[in-house]
Amino acid sequence: MKPQDIIAGKSSLWIFGYGSLVWKPDFKHKRSHVGFIRGYKRRFWHGDTFHRGSDEMPGRVVTLLEEDDACTWGVAFEVTGSQIEESLTYLNIREAVRGGYGTRMVEFVPHDESQPSVQALVYIATEDNPTYLGPASTDEIAAQIAVCKGKTGYNIEYLLRLAEFMRQSCPGVEDAHLFSIERACLAIFKPLLLAAQQRAVLLLPSTSVTARSFASFGGGVKDVRAAVWEELSAGAQDRAFSLGRGRAYGNERCGG
């Protein structure tokens, strides 16, 4: 489906995001709704050699696979007037050229039941894409995410932001694939953070946010998640995250 075919005769267009678009659309839009689409499941099966990885170490980002009984939660954005062409021009670079995604039209169902279902454009990467990675075990996917970084940032940031969106915006919706990868990825960092807690003075300035956070680091999933976020926000990523590189590779509403 070509952008010019999508624009033809339209004064309004909905665009459904299920990955980084849910927290960073970066295009002007009239309004947005949290909701879901049926018949697709979200999987970390697509490779990313630009935003969250490199040619040498491709990251893993999400795409959609058809499955009759599945559904995927995300955010739909309505663009109108000149926003339509502007958003599609931008997304063609971000998702198609750099990401390898194609487009389809799907039915989007808002979480707010007072809002009607709408047809929405969605970007999907399929297995015929050269950067498509396909299935792997939870631990293998987590290990890859734990060590990869691209021009937009760390792959683990992408994972944590998507998981946080689901917890905050779709409470009660279970996404077993997403949350299991998050747990496995955080498990990689737990021993590293515990070790850093013991020698924080050697790794980081004693006045840094991260060093202070180690003093109360308890080692639970929430503690690990919070400590990783501290690393991402405190500017200490390259030092602390580099500790994990060898370890990671060496060793009829829809419910979600």
Task: Decide if 95 is catalytic.
Answer: yes
Q: Which of 67, 95, 113, 164 is catalytic?
A: 95
Q: Which two tokens stand for residue 55?
A: 């040619």
What is the torsion angle, in degrees rounded to the nearest 10, for the CA atoms of residue 176, residue 182, residue 184 and residue 188? 180
Residue that the structure tokens 């953070």 belong to? 193
Concatenate the DSSP letters of all residues of 5-55 into one string.
HHHTT-SEEEEEESSGGGT---S--SEEEEEEEEEEEEEEEEEESSSS--S
Contact 178, 163 (CB under 8 A): yes
Give the C-alpha separation, 229 to 240, whole Å: 12
**CA angle, corner 236, sides to 235 and 242, nearest 5?**
135
Return the sign of the alpha-carbon dihedral for residues 233, 238, 244, 248: positive
Count helices and strands (H / E) in the chain. Answer: 10, 5
Q: Which residues are the active-site residues?
A: 95
